[in-house]
Amino acid sequence: MATVISPVADICRAAKRAAKALARVDTATKNAALEGIAVALEERTPEILEANELDMRLGREADLSEALLDRLRLDEERIAGIAKAVRQIVALGDPVGEVIDGHRLPNGLDVRKVRVPLGVVAVVYEARPNVTIDAAALCLKSGNAIVLRGSSSALHSNEALARIASGAAVAGGLPEGCVSLVAGGGRTPGGGTGRSLAELATQKGVVDLIIPRGGEGLKAALEEVATVPVIYAASGNCHVYVDASADEDSAERIVLNAKVQRPGVCNAAETLLIHEDIAAEFVPRITRALGDAGVTVRGDERTQALAPEPAGTVETATEEDWGTEYLAMTLAVKVVGSKEEAIEHIGRYGSGHSEAIVTRDTDSARAFQLGVDAACVYVNASTRFTDGGEFGMGAEIGNSTQKLHVRGPIGLRELCTFKYLVEGDGHVRA
């Protein structure tokens, strides 16, 4: 069963034992166990909601922001969505054993490059209790044991979800220790609940990979102590650039969706860039639409000058605004002189997560695709699509802004490494 009381090292060693067994489990058994998790989530929804309501009450008492409370909140619909995501992972092909490449050498040796599990994956995450199940399902399907460490704000929700997932997985034939939950939720490495983070991050040789899913504070805390390899599912300072040739109707829909549809997530837009040739028409239109949607706009001088009356509807943007991930109903807006200036601005302030251009000009679209260095680059589409589920991965553990070993949504294949299988017939090297 999942545990929240055993020492971190003991949990990790148990996960290591489970990983060795799990790597040899067949696809049918893994899929049956995942289906068991989905059924258990549906049947035990009241238990999950009770735990989540306790976290929500404590969160309100602690004055958590509305964005954080939205990340934390579970209801019947969201739990059903989590169960659906598990079943989508069941329906996906098993990456373990997949042949990436194969050939016969001139000397007769047969060489195959095949996917294999990483081993033990630790996922450290903040607020979102759905990550407990998404991460567990992805790891189990890809043959990895998982050690979970959520935040203190979601303590009771995570305990309930991990307990249900672990019990269903073991009942379905997977090894004990394949899903575990570490106690604690603080970041400070030196003491308190932060001690478990430091201990988890230094389980070299036992934990094969840590994936933190949270803000820059979590990233900084891990960078300070980690000796285990880390893939940072980092924050997103995402941009939408409206080019001179953009269709204004399409641009308005994309900007509103990217900012408003769910502002407290990493793929929501935080900055809007508008080409000066379209600014006189589009700035009044989009700032009015954003204001009607409840968005606070912070603009540069040209944006403020073009915004509709009454004066003061657009706040003054500072240098800090261009680099801020608001995770709230606030958007920075700037008028730029060219697509090159837009690309330069994104290169300076962007986090490498998701960037979008709205344009009807093929050359502008191509220049943006080539010039913007980000995990996901969109042409005439919202940044909100950067998501493992939307990309057909069933779910994701996070979105990596790194370039090694994973970039973009972290799904099943991204939780595997590979090895070479070489077969001969008495071959020796001359």
Q: What is the pLDDT of residue 192?
A: 42
Q: How far is CA 426 from CA 18, 344, 423, 429, in A?
A: 35, 58, 9, 10
pLDDT band at 96; cut points 50, 70, 90: very high
Q: Residue 213 domain-assigned? A: yes
Q: What is the pLDDT of residue 103?
A: 97
Q: Which amino acid is at 255?
A: V
pLDDT band at 405; cut points 50, 70, 90: confident
**Which residues does 398 contact at the CB level (< 8 Å), separation at least 6?**
125, 211, 212, 213, 233, 409, 410
Q: Residue 3 domain-assigned? A: no
- Give the number of other Cβ atoms within 10 Å of residue 79's Cβ: 22
pLDDT band at 3; cut points 50, 70, 90: very low
Residue 167: pLDDT above 80?
yes
221 & 244 share domain: no
We report the CATH number of the domain holding residue 370 as 3.40.309.10
285 & 345 share domain: yes
Q: With pLDDT > 70 as the criterion, what percentage of the chain qualifies?
A: 95
Q: What is the mean pLDDT of the chain?
A: 93
120 & 215 share domain: yes
Q: How far apart are CA 103 and CA 107, in angstroms?
A: 11
* Parallel, antiparallel or unpaired: strands 269-275 and 330-336: parallel
229 & 284 share domain: no
210 & 192 share domain: yes
Q: Residue 336 domain-assigned? A: yes
SS3 133: helix
- What's the whole-model pTM score? 0.86
218 & 260 share domain: no
- Give the number of other Cβ atoms within 10 Å of residue 41's Cβ: 22
Q: Residue 223 domain-assigned? A: yes
62 & 128 share domain: yes
What is the span of the domain harbouring residue 265?
238-385
Q: What is the pLDDT of residues 243-297, one digit of tens each?
A: 999 999 999 999 999 999 999 889 999 999 999 999 999 999 999 999 999 999 9
Q: Residue 2 domain-assigned? A: no
DSSP assignment string, 325-370: ---SSEEEEEEESSHHHHHHHHHHH--SSEEEEE-S-HHHHHHHHH
Q: What is the pLDDT of residues 182-201, one digit of tens each?
A: 976 555 444 444 688 999 99
53 & 171 share domain: yes
Q: How far apart are CA 349 and CA 382, in angstroms?
A: 19
N-term to C-term CA, the chain: 53
278 & 402 share domain: no
Compute φ and ψ for 313, nearest 5 degrees. -70, -20
Q: Residue 1 domain-assigned? A: no
* Parallel, antiparallel or unpaired: strands 120-125 and 145-149: parallel
191 & 321 share domain: no
Answer yes or no: are the C-beta atoms of 200 and 219 closer than 8 Å.
no
pLDDT band at 310; cut points 50, 70, 90: low
For residue 120, the cross-strand partners are 145
We report the CATH number of the domain holding residue 213 as 3.40.605.10
182 & 70 share domain: yes
Q: Residue 428 domain-assigned? A: no
Burial of residue 213, with CB atoms counted within 10 A of its CB: 0-12 exposed, 13-18 middle, 19 or more buried: buried
Q: What is the pLDDT of residue 121?
A: 98
Q: What is the pLDDT of residues 218-228, one digit of tens each?
A: 888 898 999 99
Q: Residue 391 domain-assigned? A: no
SS3 147: strand
Q: What is the pLDDT of residue 219?
A: 84
290 & 183 share domain: no
Structural domains counted in the chain: 2
Residue 4: pLDDT above 80?
no
